[in-house]
Amino acid sequence: MLKILKLLKSNKIIKNYAILDSKKGKDFYYLKIEAKLIDDSTLFIRTYVSVTSYLYSYHWQDKTGQLKIRWDNAPHHQNLKTFPHHKRTPKIEESEEIRLEDILKRIEDKLNFTKP
């Protein structure tokens, strides 16, 4: 959990963020976060990590609330080769398992903030 918060604090595309929900137990944690990005878009982050599970949803939307892309591993779309991992662009597409650091890098690349 601290790794995620540290990542958000140190990333140059994150303007600010708010923890909407947080739960922690002996062998798990759950976080729900709303992060505002420097282009005024929003990244909603939901992650549940335990000894046996990693559930995630990373929902990126523009400043008007329109979906840009969402990655998640909710167990639907069983027809995909990468089940349960998928993304919505808004069409449903295959996607490998993904972590927040990968999401931030992809968004950063799309925003062209890695170029001098």
Please indicate, yes or no, if residue 4 is contained in any of the structural domains.
Answer: yes
* pLDDT at 112 exceeding the cut of 90: no
Global pTM value: 0.90
Q: Based on the structure, what is the number of domains in the chain?
A: 1
Please indicate, yes or no, if residue 78 is contained in any of the structural domains.
Answer: no
pLDDT, tens digit (0-9, with 9 covering 90-100), for 56-103: 999 999 999 999 999 999 999 999 999 999 999 989 999 999 999 999
Helix axes 100-110, 2-10, angle to 10 degrees: 20
Please name the residue ranges forming H helices in the chain: 2-10, 100-110
Nearest residue to 31 (alpha-carbon basis) of 20, 22, 40: 22
pLDDT, tens digit (0-9, with 9 covering 90-100), for 90-111: 899 999 999 999 999 999 998 8
Amino acid at 23: K
* pLDDT at 16 exceeding the cut of 80: yes
pLDDT, tens digit (0-9, with 9 covering 90-100), for 26-35: 999 999 999 9
Residue showing tokens 């609330």: 65
Domain housing 55: 1-65+98-116
* pLDDT at 116 exceeding the cut of 70: no
Strand partners, 44: 34, 59
CATH number at residue 56: 3.10.450
